[in-house]
């Protein structure tokens, strides 16, 4: 048995969740006010049988003990596993000691390289120009020391030679990302660059960013920025520059600021704004944001007004996770980066931060300022560009707000607003279209095994059929209840290639990945694979519906136990109120009635099952005991 299974077997979800929220028995389920969104009536359910939790309210999501703890404690999967394993008394096999020793060795090589580069910067003739360049940009010796800035000399293999003398093998130098195989043997990766050592959260050097040194009268080296490539210790998407120095400040101030460049972060720290980290020039990754959210809820992204900066956020804005995470954005004055702003007028910085606006508002502005909205054609282009982003908003209230905003921006007549809602609904991902499958709900209710074959089959299909990439990338990981499967889906979405996936997946899940990769999948043609995928999605959707029906029936049983019979209408209304309690009035009545109709459908089923189960049982309070409802869960 894998450690993941072992932990699941030893811990009861009711105990784990019960430590965070006040659970109330409701039939065979437990319910509570959702710990992840604010609500007046409980729509958060825990099923001991399935060992799963669900919020049927605004969150509309669920999972197992791991995903609960990850969400509640803001942890990565591997961390949640460690925490729960400890509680369950399951010993995790440490990473093989040799492996850990190898990684240490790579970090040490990087540290030795940082020292070599730093010495070259501050005390060699060759580093003179680099030093001068940094001084011109306001960096004194103390800053160069604090950030261990360096200079990589021009020689073919000066660093290699230096490290070989210290006992590092050629293999280690390549594995550490410091050297590459060249025509004349091993050569240094970095030449004539200003070196920024990149550290992990514990301050250990794991890689470098190197900026080519602009020398007057010479063409600048290409590329302008060069990074260590992925190594066993350097994973760019999971690192933030200067986080080791910033983390305590971020926690204390309750605010993290992300800038793009190394120099920007350094300038901020120099001027006492120590809650600043740098994303190292690429699109912000979901992992980077998650990392920061562990220290502070409030994250502000500071962007240059130039296109490069805007491009980076445009990409960032497409991450569903980032959208859901309430990042705010500031745009710096045209032509200036944070470095320049902070140096010329340090007091302007806090004021700029105070004006940060939500990511989506920023995106609205970016799109509308790039287009001429007096032209009907361009207006519809703006709507086309922005609408897909609204699909990514899970929070219905928020979504409705932006639909209105889009209606205004596109100068659509009020009637069109409903059309937008319709389009959003139609485009909503397959598993969310409840109405169709709601009709089938009575049909095939199946046993939900502790391991879900449907989820695993879905993953196997994606692995075996690369042509499903586009469909697979559109799937929400929340679709899967089991954290081990959710992790694999996320890893696949980041790198839809088995080899890369292996590297991205926690050691504890390797076995699971292997099993799924070895599953038997028919050699479908393209259409066949697509059909199989959508069939799979439909069956997963059905499972969601089962859970809703069961929760409703349990809620009903509980209500009845508290105070007598209750009409279907009343219950449907209550359920609907708990779902959309805070919906603003602008929401179309059609929308509300559709939701109500769906809820009523499932409620009615719940009632039928509940009544028939009551006939079969005594007056014990566990109304949802025996009888036909058993079919719901097997
Ligand atoms: Zn919730």
- State how far the Cα of 124 lies from the Cα of 145, in Å rounded to an integer: 15
The domain ranges of the chain are 3-88, 102-234, 238-355, 366-428, 453-629
pLDDT tens digit sequence for 350-373: 999 998 988 888 888 878 888 888
- State how far the Cα of 616 lies from the Cα of 248, in Å rounded to an integer: 60
How confident is the model over 618-622, as a mean pLDDT? 37
Instruction: Write out the H or E segment, with its range, that includes residue 54.
Output: strand 52-55
- State how far the Cα of 136 lies from the Cα of 131, in Å rounded to an integer: 9
* Percent of the chain surpassing pLDDT 70: 77
pLDDT bracket for residue 195 (50, 70, 90) = very high
The confidence score (pLDDT) of residue 572 equals 52
CA of 81 from ligand 1 middle (Å) equals 23
The confidence score (pLDDT) of residue 599 equals 54
pTM value is 0.55
pLDDT tens digit sequence for 388-427: 778 767 677 888 888 888 888 887 766 677 777 777 776 5
- Name the 3-class secondary structure at 227: strand
The confidence score (pLDDT) of residue 193 equals 95
Q: How far is CA 30 from CA 33, 368, 440, in A?
A: 11, 47, 26
CA of 160 from ligand 1 middle (Å) equals 55
Residues whose CB falls within 8 Å of the CB of residue 242, separated by 6 or more in sequence, listed in order: 147, 265, 266, 269, 276, 277, 278
The confidence score (pLDDT) of residue 120 equals 97
β-partners of residue 211 are 194, 225
CA of 43 from ligand 1 middle (Å) equals 7
pLDDT tens digit sequence for 524-540: 888 999 999 998 998 88
Q: Which of 112-121, 252-261, 480-489 has the highest mean pLDDT?
A: 112-121
How confident is the model over 215-221, as a mean pLDDT? 73
Q: Which residue has the higher pLDDT, 442 or 210?
A: 210
Reply yes or no on whether the pLDDT at 550 is more than 80.
Answer: no
* 471: its two tokens: 């469909």
Q: How far is CA 83 from CA 54, 66, 288, 420, in A?
A: 21, 10, 21, 44
Q: Which residue has the higher pLDDT, 582 or 326?
A: 326
CA of 57 from ligand 1 middle (Å) equals 5
pLDDT tens digit sequence for 561-597: 665 554 455 445 444 444 433 333 333 334 444 544 5
What top-level class would CATH report for the domain 3-88?
A: alpha beta
CA of 58 from ligand 1 middle (Å) equals 5
CA of 396 from ligand 1 middle (Å) equals 12
CA of 590 from ligand 1 middle (Å) equals 24
CA of 403 from ligand 1 middle (Å) equals 22
CA of 404 from ligand 1 middle (Å) equals 24
CATH dotted code for 238-355: 3.40.1360.10
How confident is the model over 116-145, as a mean pLDDT? 94
CA of 379 from ligand 1 middle (Å) equals 36
The confidence score (pLDDT) of residue 368 equals 83
pLDDT tens digit sequence for 398-407: 888 888 888 8
CATH dotted code for 453-629: 1.10.860
The CATH fold assigned to 102-234 is: DNA primase DNAg catalytic core, N-terminal domain (3.90.980)
**Mean pLDDT in the chain?**
78
The confidence score (pLDDT) of residue 427 equals 59
CA of 37 from ligand 1 middle (Å) equals 5
CA of 579 from ligand 1 middle (Å) equals 9
- State how far the Cα of 264 lies from the Cα of 277, in Å rounded to an integer: 9
- State how far the Cα of 476 lies from the Cα of 290, in Å rounded to an integer: 17
The confidence score (pLDDT) of residue 164 equals 96
How confident is the model over 459-482, as a mean pLDDT? 89
Reply yes or no on whether the pLDDT at 439 is more than 50.
Answer: no
Reply yes or no on whether the pLDDT at 233 is more than 60.
Answer: yes
How confident is the model over 546-552, as a mean pLDDT? 76
β-partners of residue 193 are 152, 212
CB burial of 573-606 (b: ≥16 within 10 Å; e: otherwise) equals ebbbebbbeebeeebeeebeeebbebbbbbbebb
The confidence score (pLDDT) of residue 618 equals 38
pLDDT tens digit sequence for 139-187: 999 999 999 999 999 888 999 999 999 999 999 999 999 999 887 889 9
The confidence score (pLDDT) of residue 578 equals 41
The confidence score (pLDDT) of residue 584 equals 30
CA of 74 from ligand 1 middle (Å) equals 16
CA of 34 from ligand 1 middle (Å) equals 5
How confident is the model over 96-110, as a mean pLDDT? 86
- State how far the Cα of 296 lies from the Cα of 326, in Å rounded to an integer: 12
| 3-88 and 102-234 share one fold | no
The confidence score (pLDDT) of residue 124 equals 93
């Amino acid at each position: 048995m894998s450690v993941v299974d072992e932990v699941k077997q030893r811990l009861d979800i009711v105990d784990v969740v019960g430590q965070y929220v006040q659970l109330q028995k409701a039939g065979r389920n437990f319910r509570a006010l959702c710990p992840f969104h604010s609500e007046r009536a409980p729509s958060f359910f825990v099923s001991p049988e399935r060992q799963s939790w669900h919020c049927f309210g605004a969150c509309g999501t669920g999972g197992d003990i791991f995903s609960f703890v990850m969400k509640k404690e803001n942890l990565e999967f591997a961390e949640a596993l460690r925490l729960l394993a400890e509680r369950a008394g399951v010993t995790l096999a440490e990473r093989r000691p040799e492996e850990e020793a190898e990684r240490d060795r790579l970090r040490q090589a990087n540290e030795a390289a940082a020292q070599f580069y730093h010495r070259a910067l501050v005390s060699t003739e060759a580093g003179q120009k680099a030093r001068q360049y940094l001084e011109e940009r306001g960096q004194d010796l103390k800053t160069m020391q604090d950030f261990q800035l360096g200079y990589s000399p021009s020689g073919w293999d000066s660093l290699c030679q230096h490290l070989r003398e210290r006992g590092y093998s050629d293999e280690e130098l390549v594995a550490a990302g410091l050297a590459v195989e060249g025509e004349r043997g091993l050569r240094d990766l970095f030449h004539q660059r200003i070196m920024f050592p990149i550290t992990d959260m514990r301050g250990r050097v794991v890689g470098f960013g190197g900026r080519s040194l602009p020398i007057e009268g010479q063409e600048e080296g290409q590329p302008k920025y060069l990074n260590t490539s992925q190594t066993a210790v350097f994973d760019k998407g999971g690192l933030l520059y200067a986080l080791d120095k910033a983390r305590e400040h971020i926690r204390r101030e309750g605010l993290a600021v992300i800038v793009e460049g190394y120099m920007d972060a350094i300038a901020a720290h120099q001027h006492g704004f120590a809650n600043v980290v740098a994303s190292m020039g690429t699109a912000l990754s979901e992992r980077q944001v998650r990392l920061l959210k562990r220290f502070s809820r409030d994250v502000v992204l500071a962007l240059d007004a130039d296109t490069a900066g805007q491009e980076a956020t445009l990409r960032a804005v497409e991450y569903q996770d980032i959208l859901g995470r309430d990042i705010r954005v500031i745009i710096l004055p045209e032509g200036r980066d944070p470095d320049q702003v902070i140096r010329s007028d340090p007091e302007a910085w806090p004021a700029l931060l105070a004006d940060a606006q939500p990511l989506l508002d920023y995106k609205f502005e970016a799109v509308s300022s790039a287009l001429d909205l007096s032209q009907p054609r361009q207006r519809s282009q703006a709507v086309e560009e922005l609408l897909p982003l609204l699909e990514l908003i899970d929070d219905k209230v928020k979504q409705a707000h932006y639909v209105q905003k889009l209606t205004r921006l596109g100068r659509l007549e009020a009637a069109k607003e409903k059309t937008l809602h319709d389009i959003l609904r139609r485009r909503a991902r397959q598993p969310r279209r409840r109405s169709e499958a709601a009709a089938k709900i009575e049909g095939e209710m199946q046993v939900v095994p502790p391991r879900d074959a449907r989820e695993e089959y879905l993953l196997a299909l994606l692995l075996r059929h690369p042509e499903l990439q586009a469909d697979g990338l559109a799937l929400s990981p929340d679709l899967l209840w089991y954290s081990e499967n959710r992790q694999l889906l996320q890893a696949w979405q980041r790198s839809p290639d088995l080899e890369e996936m292996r590297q991205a997946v926690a050691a504890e899940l390797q076995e699971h990945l292997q099993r799924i990769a070895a599953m038997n999948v028919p050699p479908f043609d393209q259409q066949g694979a697509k059909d199989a995928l959508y069939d799979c999605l439909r069956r997963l959707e059905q499972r969601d519906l089962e859970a809703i029906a069961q929760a409703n029936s349990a809620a009903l049983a509980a209500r009845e136990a508290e105070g007598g019979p209750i009409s279907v209408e009343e219950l449907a209304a209550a359920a609907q109120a708990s779902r959309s309690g805070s919906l603003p009035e602008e929401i179309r009545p059609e929308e509300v009635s559709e939701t109500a109709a769906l809820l009523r459908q499932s409620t009615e089923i719940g009632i039928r099952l509940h009544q028939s189960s009551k006939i079969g049982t005594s007056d014990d309070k566990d109304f949802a005991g025996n009888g036909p409802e058993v079919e719901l869960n097997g």
